[in-house]
Structure 1
Amino acid sequence: MSPDSEEGYPGNLDCYVTYQLTPDNKLNITYFATTDKPTIVNMTNHSYFNLNGHVGGVAICLG
């Protein structure tokens, strides 16, 4: 919940995100938002995953 006028943006904003791992090992990220006034919404993620294990040293950025 982001209240009306937070950081100068109009409207109360409710946001939800769903993370889903599919049977074929794909990650689906679904965003949903509602507001009571016209406003700007730009949702994304900045997740980092190290797919090489603890000592691999390389991370992958999604976002």
Structure 2
Amino acid sequence: MVTGVHALPVKFEVSVVLVGKSLKVTIPKEVCKHLDLKKGDTVLMWTDNSHLIIEKKKEEA
């Protein structure tokens, strides 16, 4: 089990699919809820070695 304030206790396995000329992955509902992601939100993504990190962009005041 992963511990920490911002950790989910499970891993999700999702498929990479081709949509048009882009590769896409679906963010599981549980992750969206945990990150408070809603349709239209912007996320920041970067890689750290072999990990993909996704973070909800904070709204500017």
**Higher RCO, Cα 8 Å, sep 6+:** 1
TM-score for the superposition, normalised by structure 2: 0.31
Structure with the largest fraction of strand: 1
Higher helix share: 2
TM-score (norm: length of structure 1): 0.31
Q: Which has the larger radius of gyration?
A: 1
